[in-house]
Amino acid sequence: MSTKLPDNADLSLLRTLAKELRRAYAGGNPAAVARVRAVHPHAGEEIQLRDAQLVIAREHDFAGWRDLAASVVTQQSGGRDLHRWFAVELNNGTWDALDNGLSEHSPRAEREEALYAAYASTYHWMQAGTVANHGRGEHLIATVAVTIGMVEVAAPHAARYAELIEQHPAAFADWDRAFAAEALARVASRSGDPGAAKLRDEAHRIAEALPDVEDRRICLARLAAQPW
């Protein structure tokens, strides 16, 4: 158990601090370089988020980020509502991996960890969340699977997301429909479906029609992301 963990520890804040440390290190900030080199003496010009998270964990007297996270969630929840906590944490960690360049060429361990985390997040949402949370978990699984080249795994999850939206239309937001169209189009494109271009155009049409500016920006950014 750490002697440095404050009583009001916030894992979201600690995650943000790790991201800031990563950026500062890449920018050559002397203090950031010193902190990173204390844990990673042979670090190159850039580090991964997990490297920065390890630095944060060590600075709080934990062996690693998972130990730190487990201690924080126990402190925050008193053991209550752990399904929701794990759902959020696994979801955020998986999107971090995607944003940090996960691909079919990533090390096998990284690909497996991201896919299993997506499944685990969805499982926990199914225990503690809504049908919309479940659907978005299906999208996450499909996104990871298609990103790492497992199109046959992605396909049923993309379809399940669309199916849940169709079955429970009032439970989902407008942007869910854009994300579902994007996932189906991406799977079609990666599997060589001749109708993929039409599906992608439809996904763009739905995204462009979103009334909320930020929702539209996020959906279009997802459509612009690789792989196709």
The predicted-structure confidence for 163-198, as pLDDT tens digits, reads as follows 999 999 999 999 999 999 999 999 999 999 999 999
Lowest model confidence (mean pLDDT) among 43-57, 69-83, 175-189, 207-221: 69-83
pTM for this entry: 0.74
Distance CA 186, CA 227 (A): 8
The predicted-structure confidence for 7-44, as pLDDT tens digits, reads as follows 778 888 999 999 999 999 999 999 999 999 999 999 99
Q: Please compute the mean of the pLDDT values over residues 216-224 and round it to a whole number.
A: 96
**Contacts by 53-57 with C-beta closer than 8 Å and gap 24+?**
53/15, 53/18, 55/18, 55/21, 56/14, 56/17, 56/18, 56/21
Parse the chain into domains and list their residue ranges: 11-76, 81-224
Which element (helix H / strand E) includes 8?
none
CATH of 81-224, one of 1.25.40.10, 3.50.50.60, 1.20.120.530, 3.40.50.720: 1.25.40.10
Task: Write down the pLDDT at residue 72.
Answer: 86
Burial track 203-219 (b if 16+ CB lie within 10 A, e otherwise): bbebbeebeeeebbebb
Distance CA 27, CA 154 (A): 37
